[in-house]
């Protein structure tokens, strides 16, 4: 049985179609990522799955329970770590965990033991009795995750778990999440707009754009599906049609045009092909402002399937 099953979710907020037929499934014990720019529909999907809002159309089940008809059963089966921290800044880490456990109906020795275990598991046991206000951003985020695990959920939802963390803390959190998935035998669904984060953490991922799933698979398979290296060629005079004809003539395959002046092409063995490409453009009298070469990445996957650059869309451009 899938731990999460989503079929045809649609959700509109006024004029905005936040979800437009989202469907995917997550197997038990899997770490699955929804990857997309800000505003793509990732958090709305999670809010539907954790019963904080209803979809206008479609169905979803978590841990075998329908998210609309069996909300209480879903809530007992899940842990949810939202983007915004829910910790009490003026309590200690241990006090936050004890309070969360009591809210979940836990008490006594079981709760104290669980709190100690989680403090150790997320690596903040040394700061357990310090006021959370004095924690670093990374320590607070670890405490957030511990709060989501108090009641031993089967499925953990992490909504943008490393947003706001510095690069060092982000890498440390990636290691933490990977370790938790194994230690707690969890199914994890995380949302992220960090390409590298999805690549590092997810066994499988779905790329979300403008409320739709555009492609799904393992990071390795998605990148392998793009044959060859990506060559980005920025022109100075905008001679796009002629430049694309020249590229085809030297064995490059133009895929996208960005900002009306940059051609993205795919070519086998880019390092070897690049001098010939530049020479051919120069011979055709087409001035080149810049050239860059890259191996297939999730950014390329996003560009290939949406026709838009991930970074530009994430900035809302």
pLDDT tens-digit readout, 12-61:
999 999 999 999 999 999 999 999 998 999 999 999 999 999 999 999 99
CA-based Rg of the chain, rounded to a whole angstrom? Answer: 23
Q: Are strands 65-66 and 78-81 parallel, antiparallel or unpaired?
A: unpaired
With 70 as the cut, is the pLDDT of residue 317 above it? no
Residue 247 lies in a domain: yes
C-alpha span between 96 and 300 (Å, rounded): 42
Residue 66 lies in a domain: yes
Report the pLDDT averaged over residues 284-291.
Answer: 92
Same-domain status, 157 and 291: no
The alpha carbon of residue 242 and the mean position of all alpha carbons in its chain are separated, in whole angstroms, by 38
Same-domain status, 142 and 278: no
Tell me the percentage of the chain whose pLDDT exceeds 90: 70
Same-domain status, 215 and 240: no
Same-domain status, 210 and 240: no
Name the domain count of the chain. 2
- Among candidate residues 189, 206, 222, the one where a domain is terminated: 222
With 70 as the cut, is the pLDDT of residue 206 above it? yes
**pTM to 2 decimals?**
0.84
Residues in the chain, overall count:
317
Judge contact between 270 and 229, C-beta under 8 A: yes
User: Tell me, what's the pLDDT at 2?
Assistant: 93
Residue 163 lies in a domain: yes
Of the candidates 157, 229, 160, 207, the one whose C-alpha atom is nearest the C-alpha of residue 186 is 157
Q: Where are the beta strands (DSSP E) in the chain?
A: 2-13, 16-27, 31-35, 57-62, 65-66, 78-81, 155-159, 187-192, 204-209, 212-217, 229-235, 253-258, 262-267, 288-294
- Among candidate residues 200, 222, 244, the one where a domain is terminated: 222
Residue 301 lies in a domain: no
Same-domain status, 196 and 71: yes
In three-state secondary structure terms, 293 is: strand
Same-domain status, 176 and 234: no
The dihedral sign for the CA sequence 148, 152, 153, 156: positive
User: Tell me, what's the pLDDT at 226?
Assistant: 84
Report the pLDDT averaged over residues 163-184.
Answer: 84
Judge contact between 191 and 137, C-beta under 8 A: no
Same-domain status, 231 and 107: no
**Range(s) of the domain holding residue 265:** 227-295
Mind spelling out the 3-state secondary structure of 193-249?
CCHHHHHHHCCEEEEEECCEEEEEECHHHHHHCCCCEEEEEEECCCCHHHHHHHHHH
Same-domain status, 180 and 276: no
Judge contact between 132 and 90, C-beta under 8 A: yes
Most confident of 92-96, 254-258, 294-298: 92-96
User: Tell me, what's the pLDDT at 311?
Assistant: 76
C-alpha span between 300 and 309 (Å, rounded): 8
Query: What is the domain-level CATH number for residue 235?
Result: 3.30.70.980
Tell me the percentage of the chain whose pLDDT exceeds 70: 99
Same-domain status, 188 and 258: no
Residue 136 lies in a domain: yes
Ramachandran bin of 123, using left for φ above 0, alpha for ψ from -120 to 50, beta for the remaining angles: left
- Among candidate residues 161, 189, 222, the one where a domain is terminated: 222
Judge contact between 201 and 27, C-beta under 8 A: no
Query: Which tens digits make up the pLDDT trace of 106-148?
Result: 999 999 999 999 999 888 999 999 999 999 988 999 999 999 9
Same-domain status, 153 and 200: yes
User: Tell me, what's the pLDDT at 239?
Assistant: 85
Same-domain status, 150 and 16: yes
C-alpha span between 20 and 241 (Å, rounded): 34
Report the pLDDT averaged over residues 270-284.
Answer: 91
Residue 103 lies in a domain: yes
Report the pLDDT averaged over residues 178-197.
Answer: 90
Indicate the average pLDDT of the chain: 92
Same-domain status, 240 and 214: no
User: How sure is the predictor about 308, in pLDDT bands with cuts at 50, 70 and 90?
Assistant: confident
Residue 240 lies in a domain: yes
Residue 162 lies in a domain: yes
Query: What is the domain-level CATH number for residue 63?
Result: 3.40.50.300
Report the pLDDT averaged over residues 57-86.
Answer: 95
User: How sure is the predictor about 316, in pLDDT bands with cuts at 50, 70 and 90?
Assistant: low
User: Tell me, what's the pLDDT at 176?
Assistant: 83
Report the pLDDT averaged over residues 193-205.
Answer: 93
């Amino acid at each position: 049985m899938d731990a999460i099953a989503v079929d045809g979710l649609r959700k509109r907020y006024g004029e905005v179609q936040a979800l437009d037929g989202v469907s995917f499934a997550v197997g038990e014990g899997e770490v699955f990522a929804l990857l997309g720019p800000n505003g793509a529909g990732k958090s709305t999907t999670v809010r539907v799955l954790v019963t904080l809002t209803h979809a206008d159309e479609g169905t979803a089940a978590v841990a075998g329970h329908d998210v609309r008809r069996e909300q209480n059963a879903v809530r007992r089966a899940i842990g949810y770590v939202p983007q915004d921290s829910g910790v009490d800044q003026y309590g200690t880490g241990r006090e936050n965990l004890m309070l969360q456990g009591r809210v979940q109906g836990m008490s006594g020795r079981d709760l104290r033991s669980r709190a100690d275990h989680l403090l150790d598991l997320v690596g903040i046991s040394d700061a357990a009795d310090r006021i959370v206000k004095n924690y670093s951003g990374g320590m607070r985020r670890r405490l957030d995750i511990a709060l989501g695990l108090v009641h031993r959920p089967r499925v953990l939802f992490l909504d943008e778990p490393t947003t706001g963390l510095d690069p060092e803390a982000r890498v440390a959190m990636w290691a933490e999440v990977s370790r938790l998935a194994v230690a707690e035998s969890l199914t994890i669904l995380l949302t992220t707009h960090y390409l590298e984060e999805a690549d590092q953490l997810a066994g499988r991922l779905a790329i979300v754009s403008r409320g739709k799933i555009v492609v799904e698979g393992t990071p390795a398979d998605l990148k392998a599906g793009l044959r060859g290296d990506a060559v980005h060629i920025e022109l100075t005079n905008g001679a796009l049609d002629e430049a694309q004809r020249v590229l085809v003539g030297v064995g490059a395959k133009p895929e996208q045009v960005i900002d009306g002046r940059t051609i993205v092409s795919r070519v086998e063995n880019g390092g070897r092909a690049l001098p010939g490409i530049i020479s051919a453009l120069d011979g055709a009298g087409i001035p080149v402002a810049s050239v860059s070469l890259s191996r297939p990445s999730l950014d390329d996957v996003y560009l290939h399937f949406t026709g838009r650059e991930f970074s530009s869309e994430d900035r809302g451009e």
